[in-house]
Amino acid sequence: MEALLHHGIRSYKESYRYDEEKIEIIEASMKMIIRDPLREPMLHMGCEGLGNLREYVDEVLDGTKDDYVDRGFWDYTYHRLLKSYEVVGLPPVDQFSYIIEKLSAASFSNRAQGTTWMPWKHSQVKGPPCLQRIWFKIFGDELEMHTSWRSRDSYNAAFMNMYAIIHLHRRFSEKLHVKVGQYVDDSDSYHIYSYNIKSVEKFLETAKTLRGKGGSPYENSSLLTRMSK
């Protein structure tokens, strides 16, 4: 976040708001490699939205809000796109099951992936999915996971995205009877919205102050982790 704030490119992106065409951002391409995704602490006390974290995890893993799409509230959920991918003229595709079946039959396969983008649909909606692809492969006794994002709100969304996806990583590892391996997270546009810059600065200053006093921004995060499971 600090590197992005100070070294990112000042740019614009299309706005999700209906009353404006574009919005100013600071952005960069970003690749994050998490060697041990389940290592504690997984939560940072400075993150906003922790109260909704469990609800979001259930939404991604179990589709608790898939019906929001049918009711016209949302354009998509990641669970629905991956678990019931809609193809024009064909039955929905369960990409979760495909990934498990593919790696169960050939752990060395490079084809165990799921995609979300529907060009016939998402090119027309106001808020298309940010996650584009999720890929898995077994190396030795560990399952590695890669995710590809076209666009990422680094302050409000990335943490919750990653937290939920890591729990999906763990679920797949359990089904395949292997350990959770490293997680590679790749974003084309990892950004800070202009209206969040002051909040990001405050967030970074709080972390800096705590470290300067010998404290940690992660204090009590193990308790929050238990609460979110």
* Placement of tokens 């077994």 in the chain: 138
The amino acid present at 82, given as its one-letter code, is L
Q: In whole angstroms, what is the distance from residue 173 CA to residue 154 CA?
A: 27
* pLDDT tier, 116 (very low <50, low <70, confident <90, very high otherwise): very high
Helix (H, G, I), strand (E, B) or coil at 160: helix
Residue type present at position 182: Q
Look at residue 137 and tell me whether its pLDDT is greater than 90: yes
Helix axes 158-176 and 95-105, enclosed angle (nearest 10)? 40
Q: 3-state SS string over 27-51?
A: EEEEEEEECCCCCCCCCCCCCCCHH
Percent above pLDDT 70 for the chain:
91
Q: Which of 187, 93, 192, 101 is nearest to 146 (CA)?
A: 187
DSSP 65: T
Is the pLDDT score of 227 beyond 80? no
- Find the DSSP H helices in the chain: 2-7, 53-62, 67-70, 78-83, 95-105, 119-122, 158-176, 197-212, 221-228
CA distance 179 to 177: 7
- Residue 37, by phi and psi: left (phi above 0), alpha (psi -120 to 50) or beta? alpha
Q: What confidence score (pLDDT) does residue 138 get?
A: 98
Quickly state the pLDDT bin for 15 (edges 50, 70, 90): confident
Q: Which of 46-55, 58-67, 121-130, 194-203 has the lowest mean pLDDT?
A: 46-55
Q: Exposure string (b/e) for 65-96, b if CB count within 10 Å is 16 or more? A: bbeebeeeeeebbbbbbbbbbeeeeeeebebb
Determine the Cα–Cα distance for residues 59 and 77; give it in Å rounded to an integer: 8
Lowest mean pLDDT among 30-39, 117-126, 207-216: 207-216
Question: Which of these ranges, 141-145, 147-151, 221-225, has the smallest mean pLDDT?
Answer: 221-225
Residue 48 has pLDDT above 90, yes or no: no
Pairing of strands 113-115, 22-34: unpaired
Q: What is the mean pLDDT of the chain?
A: 90
| Distance in angstroms (rounded) separating the CA atoms of residues 9 and 4 | 8
pLDDT reported for residue 196? 93
* pLDDT of 223 higher than 50: no
Does 208 have pLDDT greater than 90? Answer: no
Q: Which residue has the higher pLDDT, 9 or 209?
A: 9
Output the pLDDT for position 46.
66
Across the range 197-213, mean pLDDT stands at 86
Which residue ranges form the domains of the chain, and what is each CATH number? 29-228 (3.30.572.10)
Tokens of 55: 């609800």
pLDDT at 215 over 70: no
CB neighbour class for 31 (10 Å; exposed up to 12, middle 13-18, buried from 19): exposed
| Global pTM exceeds 0.85 | yes
Q: Is the pLDDT of residue 45 over 90?
A: no
| pLDDT surpassing 70 at residue 113 | yes
